[in-house]
Amino acid sequence: MGHGVSGGGRSLASPAFPGDDGAPDPALRAAIACGSGDLDDRLGAARLLVAVVAVLDEADEGGGDKASHMAVVSMVNATGERGLLAFTGLDALAAWDPRARPVPVSGPQAARAALEDGAEALVIDVAGPVRAAVTGERLRALGAADFRPTPADC
């Protein structure tokens, strides 16, 4: 069938994570919970969910949505540093904001998106079950085009 899904003369890209049901990777959550040294490698092989939300651009006279767009979500800490939000599973995303929509990406893709957006961190599971932040050299290494994960046990 090729690289896409055929439908009515149109070709759609194949999903990056076929069969993904939004469940968290238990090994990734365990690595986050125990502060494991292999967290970066686990993130390199992980599927994360980046949150997108609707942003109202213009309302009509009745307060209804006239124009809006979807945007990725970042947070700003007390010192003004921004972090792109990502989640290990739909449960963690819904705990943060049940209206947010998930965009599945690899850990390296999430890191690159954070860097391209000028963020200093990739904040994972901000509302729990356990929060983690990838910053500095770790963020740059995870976002590197040649990142090669080598998972180990927690």
Reported as a single tens digit per residue, the pLDDT across 59-113 is: 677 766 665 556 678 889 999 999 999 999 999 999 999 989 999 999 999 999 9
The confidence score (pLDDT) of residue 18 equals: 83
| Structural domain contains residue 4 | no
DSSP 8-state assignment for residue 147: -
pLDDT of residue 53: 77
Q: Domain range spanning residue 102? A: 38-143
Number of structural domains the chain divides into: 1
Torsion of CA 35, 139, 71, 13, to 10 degrees: -100
pLDDT given at position 52: 87
In the prediction, which pLDDT does 142 show? 93
Predicted local distance difference test score (pLDDT) of residue 6: 47
How many angstroms separate the CA atoms of 145 and 108, rounded? 8
Residue 1 has pLDDT above 70, yes or no: no
Q: Contact 79/72 with Cβ under 8 angstroms? A: no
- Answer with the residue of higher pLDDT: 65 or 49: 49
Dig out the tokens for 27 from the structure: 């090994």
CATH of the domain at 134: 3.40.1350
Distance (Å, rounded) from C-alpha 94 to C-alpha 100?
7
Instruction: Say how far apart CA 44 and CA 106 lie, in whole Å.
Output: 7
For residue 102, the cross-strand partners are 51
**8 in a structural domain:** no
Mean pLDDT of the residues in the chain: 83
Which of 10-19, 47-56, 59-68 has the lowest average pLDDT? Answer: 59-68
- The single-letter DSSP state of residue 53 is E
For residue 33, tell me if it sits in a domain. no
76 occurs within a structural domain: yes
Beta bridge partners of 13: 4
Is 90 inside any structural domain? yes
Confirm whether 2 is domain-assigned.
no
Q: Look at the alpha carbons of 138, 141, 147, 148 in this order and tell me if their dihedral is positive or negative.
A: negative
Residue 25 within any structural domain of the chain:
no
Residue 11 lies in a domain: no
- State the pTM of this model: 0.79
Helix (H) or strand (E) holding 52: strand 47-59
- Judge whether residue 25 has pLDDT over 90: yes
pLDDT at 150: 58
3-state secondary structure of 41: helix
